[in-house]
Amino acid sequence: MKIPPVKGTRDFYPSEMARRNWIVDGWKRVSVRNGFEEYDGPIFEYLKMFQVKSGDEIVEQLFSFQDRGGRDLAIRPEITPTLARMVNQQINSLPRPIKWFSVPRLCRAERPQKGRLREFFQWNIDIIGVDSPEADAEIIFTSLDYLRTAGLTSDDVRARISSRKLLAAVLGATGIPQEDFDSLYALLDKRAKLPADTFDALLAEQVSDTEQAKTIKDFMALESVEQVEEVVGAHDDVLSAAAELKGVFAALESMGVADFCVFDPGIVRGLAYYTGVVFEIHDNVGSLRAICGGGRYDNLLRDFGGPAIAATGMGMGDCVLEILLHEKGLLDSQVPRRYLEYFVAFADPRFAPAMYQTAARIRSKGHSAGFSYKQGGLSKQLKEAASQKARNCIIIGDEYNEKKHLVVKDMASGEQRVVPLDQFLAELDQD
């Protein structure tokens, strides 16, 4: 009986694993150089953790189950609620600001499609305890810092930035009642994915006043924060939310990534907990879903029973990123190829014990070494060394027997040198 992999999951054969490791290593390196410390949590949590504040879309996509004790649990679809729970638990002892990162494996029962799977890896960076726009800017900067390191430029990707606070202020100034905001956010978040007339019809269902609907659409079409006042007037809430957003853009300019950043009032974000600046990074061609998304969520820790502490962060999945890097020729050209430093061969089977011993000595000095399991001739062993991508081949033959000398063959140039064993081992220490 052949059992296929489950829909929306991936098998990581060594070549896929090498790609994944390269991506994850890059995320970790960029996190550390931007001052973030690594954390992790459990792969499953109480179901209610994700029902409280993640929003309907995520709740519909939960892999949930009951354990033998009748507890309702779910595999994590995101790590932000876990982060909020963990920080709340030690809130008095953690030095602030908290700048943490994680690369959790997540599961969402989505319809598998290009860039969206049911199991994926997601880089998370979050700053907790800072309510200034500079923290939002640093999250956006760090996300771009990674993408730049991976070889992408502002010709390839753009950070589209807006603010839930600004949107709420605009809706309030337009006269929309507060209780309608959440359902409007859900609709506005889908705008880019809907045909224009479908969006207009759905908006008209929620906002019957045509003047109000027009103001919302005018706002959604703006290209700069400076124009917001012209559309909705100089309301205090609008002005203060716009000033905050301008602060984010100013910080991003100082950080040297202004050419990657644009104001896009169409960015609303699907998750329910965002309260301020929100952003997504997209490929400029626009054929893929978001590479990453995040924003400010100042109420989440309080909603999980902790104190009201400002927080901002983002999540970047590995799927869209991998597709984009591949399309741009930036993946296989950069993922390190697997190789063996030394393949140890013998010229005669009677040297087999010396071959095993030499391989073990090379390994004990921290270098990779292999040998053939077959007791074949030297040319067969050299072929095997080439297929194992060995950089050097050590040949144990008569020179070893007589004077403890090894033949070291450089597999690329074909050059051979005879080296005393002690000298060879000493050279390994220097590498």
Q: Which residues bind ligand HAM (CB under 6 A)?
A: 78, 80, 108, 110, 116-117, 120, 122, 124, 126, 271, 290-294, 313-317, 319-320
- As measured in angstroms, the least distance from the Cβ of 33 to ligand HAM is 19
Q: Which is nearer to ligand HAM, 23 or 362 (CB)?
A: 23
Q: Which is nearer to ligand HAM, 265 or 397 (CB)?
A: 265
> HSE (CB half, 13 Å, CA atoms) of 392?
18
- As measured in angstroms, the least distance from the Cβ of 293 to ligand HAM is 4
CA-to-CA distance for 406 and 363, rounded, in angstroms?
16
DSSP 268-321: --S-TT--SEEEEEEETT--S--SEEEEE-TTHHHHTTS----EEEEEEEHHHH
Q: Which is nearer to ligand HAM, 115 or 265 (CB)?
A: 115
For residue 221, give the nearest of 250, 192, 179, 185 by alpha carbon.
192
Q: Match 């006042």 to its residue by tokens.
A: 229
Q: Are 180 and 172 in contact (CB under 8 A)?
A: no
What letter would DSSP give residue 258? G
- As measured in angstroms, the least distance from the Cβ of 292 to ligand HAM is 5
The pairing of beta strand 390-396 with beta strand 405-410? antiparallel
CA-to-CA distance for 137 and 164, rounded, in angstroms?
16
- As measured in angstroms, the least distance from the Cβ of 228 to ligand HAM is 24
CA-to-CA distance for 352 and 348, rounded, in angstroms?
8
Burial class for 411, CB neighbours closer than 10 Å (0-12, 13-18, 19+): middle
- As measured in angstroms, the least distance from the Cβ of 411 to ligand HAM is 40
Contact partners, residue 206, CB within 8 Å, separation at least 6 = 180, 183, 184, 187
Q: Which is nearer to ligand HAM, 188 or 238 (CB)?
A: 188
Q: Which is nearer to ligand HAM, 292 or 354 (CB)?
A: 292
For residue 176, give the nearest of 127, 132, 215, 134 by alpha carbon.
215
Q: Which is nearer to ligand HAM, 231 or 292 (CB)?
A: 292
Residue 107 forms beta bridges with which residues?
Answer: 119
Q: Which is nearer to ligand HAM, 17 or 234 (CB)?
A: 17
Structure tokens at 293: 């998304």
- As measured in angstroms, the least distance from the Cβ of 52 to ligand HAM is 13
Contact partners, residue 11, CB within 8 Å, separation at least 6 = 5
- As measured in angstroms, the least distance from the Cβ of 117 to ligand HAM is 5
Structure tokens at 53: 């504040």
> Which amino acid appears at position 385 of this protein?
A
Residue 42 forms beta bridges with which residues?
Answer: none
Q: Which is nearer to ligand HAM, 78 or 131 (CB)?
A: 78
> HSE (CB half, 13 Å, CA atoms) of 251?
17
- As measured in angstroms, the least distance from the Cβ of 14 to ligand HAM is 22
- As measured in angstroms, the least distance from the Cβ of 80 to ligand HAM is 4
- As measured in angstroms, the least distance from the Cβ of 267 to ligand HAM is 11
- Which residue sits closest to ligand HAM, CB atoms considered? 317
Q: Which is nearer to ligand HAM, 164 or 405 (CB)?
A: 164
Q: Which is nearer to ligand HAM, 290 or 394 (CB)?
A: 290
DSSP 38-55: E----SEEEHHHHHHHS-
Q: Are 58 and 81 in contact (CB under 8 A)?
A: no
| Separation of CA 161 from chain center | 18
